[in-house]
Chain A
Amino acid sequence: MSATREDVGGTPLPPGWAKPAHQPDAFELTTTTFEERAAKTMARPFARGAIANATDHAAALTTARFVGTDHDALREEARKIRAHAIANLPDYLDHWIDQAERKGTVVHYASDESEARRIVAQICTDQQITRVVKSKSMASEEVSLNSALEAVGVDIYETDLGEFVVQAMGDRPGHVIAPILHRTKDEVHELFSAMAGHELPNEAEALTAFAREGLRHAFLTADAGISGGNFLIAETGDVLLVTNEGNGRLTTSLPPIHIALVGIEKVLPRRRDLAVLLPLLTGHGTGQQITTYVSVAAGPRRQGEPDGPEQMHVVLLDAGRSALLGGEFEEALHCIRCGACQNVCPVYRQVGGHAYGWVYGGPIGAVLTPLFRGQEEAGELAHATTLCGACDDVCPVKIPLHDLLLGLRRRSDADGHVPRHEQLAFALWAQVWSRPLLYRASTAVARGSLRTLARDGVVSAKTPLLRRWTAGRDLVVGRRAR
């Protein structure tokens, strides 16, 4: 393990290969509406096609994976495990910390995003870390970790192929499992060819080989590896990581220092709980029985061990999580980030992950974002769904997403975050429609107006009241000619 930066071989990535990472707090959530962000993705037909194809494919793989199994019983078992773990989170977290520290892991607690950034940046400064390889971590997206580290002079290499592309493009991941779901192969080809300085063959293998070559060099020269974590096993104090590309294992075991940034809700009580959760995570994530790699990071290298990091740090990320404990929205913490709800969501299918404005898209994003970022900033997202319930039916841990979304809408109402015109409209509506006589009069007026506006049983007029309906649709009020 004494390779130096000069003698490791491989081709280093050219300087300036990646666009600068996003600045913290530069999430679009604060500056644009869901409608505006959705329009951006919808204006890119290739992106829409790519999202639809990829999510349909993933959903079909998940369905196929569990054919002939007692899927519902497994989901119910998983729900119970997650509910128990979260209901007793402080205890299990304490236990996890004890066990992890016993194994020599240094445990840090970040109560919010800026604290997480500060802690990791401090570790990098203290340990003179200037080059980091990073395996995929949504928690790091929450805290905008990359820009924080760039600010203290650290070069970061995202090593998950999708995240590598995201970083090189200066983009954001569009899906929790498949970060470049919204991109096409042609876009990656163009990007990699530009990075290589010559035209690469437009084939998946050649493109992958290009990234692999550059990343190999990064792995061998990195001072530290930063990962997320899929589960924290309280019983053993370990961090469990699933990947398919092997980058997670290299990140956590090759560099001399491993730093894991993990949400506190990822705790599972016992190792044997993995027998239930792991097949559900991989089956709902990618349709696999099990991922190619399941890595267990169990502290730094012990005496006599030939490999592994010399230091292991775990930064436990709260950032809004503990505030949900014991409340109406606690079940949102049951999420294991498999992405299955995104794959079946008919809204996500049209607009992709970026429309949700922060880190998580789809139904779980519409729940977590208002909970983590606040109602003021993100309350709108709970309305960006048709409440179709497809997410409830697919969630491997049976999170009642439909109920949580409805609960968030109610909270907007209770907290007075509803636009004035909407409040007035519903108040007026209730005044009229709670009285049968007025109701009859109002519906007679509505019918009469529609009849007046209709041509051949169809209203397509852009009257002010119907404007948002008739922009793209007619209102069919009569029997149409056959």
Chain B
Amino acid sequence: MPDDVGMTVAVQLFPTCIGDVVAQQTVTDTERVLDALGIDHQRPSGTTCCGQPAFNSGHDSPARSVAKATLKALDDGSDLPILVPSGSCASMVRLHWRELFHGTPEAEAATRIARRVRELSSFLAEHTDALRDLEPSLAVRVGYHDSCHMLRELRIKEAPREVLQTVAGLELVELDSSERCCGFGGTFSGRYPDVSVAMADTKIDDMVAAKVDVLVSSDPGCLMQLAGRMSRQGTPVRAVHVATLMAEALA
């Protein structure tokens, strides 16, 4: 693979709290995809959460204490990219840590880490040739959900689609509501459960109408919301992370 000479061969993987508690499969599948690509990876020890639940609720002080633990774990003196299999956590570290740690002793480290952090699918999109060489294949009709923070803060839209399109037999359908919020919104989902669920339903109706087999996203938060609602309703659509879909296509 001459094109890949000079490409990244080692990365750090920040599983995030949602990956540690609910979305373990996403993290395992991310590792499988990296293995298939021959990219060395490791989970730095001591990471916790990026602080987003508190930060987005307006509680900067607890957000900072928690994020500091993760910052210390990630700041290993290397320049290795830090992959995050979650659009909103990646956005938190990349864009909001600088603000959160502004004027604190961690300010410099926060900037350093912000530069290293990569949302997973945008990283994988740089390896589409290598992915294609591995001949991933899966006969499914897929709809993609753009997570809000990944789309509107990190401005990543095409990358996950490019990754999915390396899969032979995969049909990617553009959903009318692909950019509409799923209703998760972190603590919003608990503050206003009925509104949150109604928001999920409009997306789910759209997926059902588009007759997709699988809904793919790059954000475990959105997936927890959409999969949870579809499970409750018995909707025959799977909701999986892009890493999971790729791991299955490469298996």
Query: From DSSP, what is the main secondary structure of chain B's interface residues?
Result: helix
* B228 and A474 form a contact (CB under 8 A): yes
Identify B194's interface contact among A42, A346, A413, CB under 8 A: A42
Identify B195's interface contact among A38, A409, A430, CB under 8 A: A38
Residue A293 CB within 8 A of the other chain: no
Given the contacts A39-B194, A386-B188, A447-B21, A427 and B62 also touching, CB distance less than 8 Å: yes
What residues of B have a CB within 8 angstroms of the CB of A436 in the complex? 45-48, 69, 73
Q: Mark A455-468, 1 if CB is under 8 A from B, else 0.
A: 00010100000001
- How many angstroms between the C-alpha atoms of A89 and B17 in the bound complex? 47
Stretch at the interface among A113-121, A199-207, A388-396: A388-396
* A406 and B58 form a contact (CB under 8 A): yes
Q: Mark B104-126, 1 if CB is under 8 A from A, else 0.
A: 00000000000000000000000
List residues 175-192 of chain B with CB under 8 A from any CB of chain A.
Answer: 179-181, 183-192
Given the contacts A39-B194, A383-B57, A472-B229, A346 and B188 also touching, CB distance less than 8 Å: no
* A386 and B184 form a contact (CB under 8 A): yes
List residues 198-251 of chain B with CB under 8 A from any CB of chain A.
Answer: 198-200, 202, 224-225, 227-229, 231-232, 238-239
* A386 and B148 form a contact (CB under 8 A): yes
Q: Count contacts on A: residues with CB < 8 A to the other chain.
A: 61
* B181 and A413 form a contact (CB under 8 A): no
Closest residue of chain B to A479 (Cβ to Cβ) is B25
What residues of B have a CB within 8 angstroms of the CB of A347 in the complex? 181, 195, 199
Identify A406's interface contact among B24, B25, B56, CB under 8 A: B56
What residues of B have a CB within 8 angstroms of the CB of A473 in the complex? 193, 197, 200, 225, 228-229, 231-232
Closest residue of chain A to B46 (Cβ to Cβ) is A436
- How many angstroms between the C-alpha atoms of A389 and B184 in the bound complex? 13
Residue A412 CB within 8 A of the other chain: yes
Given the contacts A383-B191, A450-B22, A430 and B198 also touching, CB distance less than 8 Å: no
Residue A435 CB within 8 A of the other chain: yes
- How many angstroms between the C-alpha atoms of A383 and B187 in the bound complex? 9
Identify A349's interface contact among B54, B194, B202, CB under 8 A: B202
- How many angstroms between the C-alpha atoms of A142 and B173 in the bound complex? 45
List residues 439-461 of chain A with CB under 8 A from any CB of chain B.
Answer: 439, 443, 446-447, 450, 458, 460
* B148 and A390 form a contact (CB under 8 A): yes
Identify B153's interface contact among A346, A386, A389, A479, CB under 8 A: A389
Q: Mark B15-43, 1 if CB is under 8 A from A, else 0.
A: 00100111011000000000000000000
Residue B65 CB within 8 A of the other chain: yes
Count of inter-chain pairs, beta carbons less than 8 A: 180
What residues of A have a CB within 8 angstroms of the CB of B197 in the complex? 471-473
The CB with the most chain A CB atoms within 10 A, among B56, B189, B192, is that of B192
Residue A46 CB within 8 A of the other chain: no
Give, as a whole number of angstroms, the nearest-CB distance from A464 to chain B.
13
Residue A198 CB within 8 A of the other chain: no
What residues of B have a CB within 8 angstroms of the CB of A393 in the complex? 152
* B58 and A475 form a contact (CB under 8 A): no
- How many angstroms between the C-alpha atoms of A422 and B46 in the bound complex? 26
* B62 and A430 form a contact (CB under 8 A): yes
Query: From DSSP, what is the main secondary structure of chain A's interface residues?
Result: helix
What residues of A have a CB within 8 angstroms of the CB of B69 in the complex? 433-436, 439
List residues 311-348 of chain A with CB under 8 A from any CB of chain B.
Answer: 346-347
Give, as a whole number of angstroms, the nearest-CB distance from B180 to chain A.
5
Given the contacts A433-B17, A433-B66, A468-B190, A386 and B57 also touching, CB distance less than 8 Å: no
* A480 and B148 form a contact (CB under 8 A): no
Q: Mark A371-413, 1 if CB is under 8 A from B, else 0.
A: 0000000000011111111101100000000000010111111
The CB with the most chain A CB atoms within 10 A, among B48, B149, B189, is that of B48
Residue B60 CB within 8 A of the other chain: yes
Given contact pairs A386-B181, A387-B188, A450-B22, a sample of 7 additional A-B residue pairs in the complex whose CB atoms are under 8 Å apart: A346-B181, A347-B195, A350-B198, A390-B180, A413-B57, A434-B48, A474-B229
A-B contact pairs, 20 of them (CB 8 A): A35-B194, A39-B194, A42-B198, A351-B195, A383-B188, A384-B188, A385-B185, A385-B188, A386-B181, A386-B185, A413-B60, A429-B53, A430-B62, A434-B65, A436-B46, A439-B69, A450-B22, A469-B189, A469-B190, A476-B227
Minimum-distance CB pairs A-B, first 9: A386-B185, A409-B58, A430-B62, A473-B228, A389-B152, A472-B197, A388-B181, A388-B148, A474-B231
- Chain A residues engaging chain B, CB cutoff 8 angstroms: 34-35, 38-39, 42, 48, 52, 346-347, 349-351, 382-390, 392-393, 406, 408-413, 418, 422-423, 426-427, 429-430, 433-436, 439, 443, 446-447, 450, 458, 460, 468-469, 471-480, 482
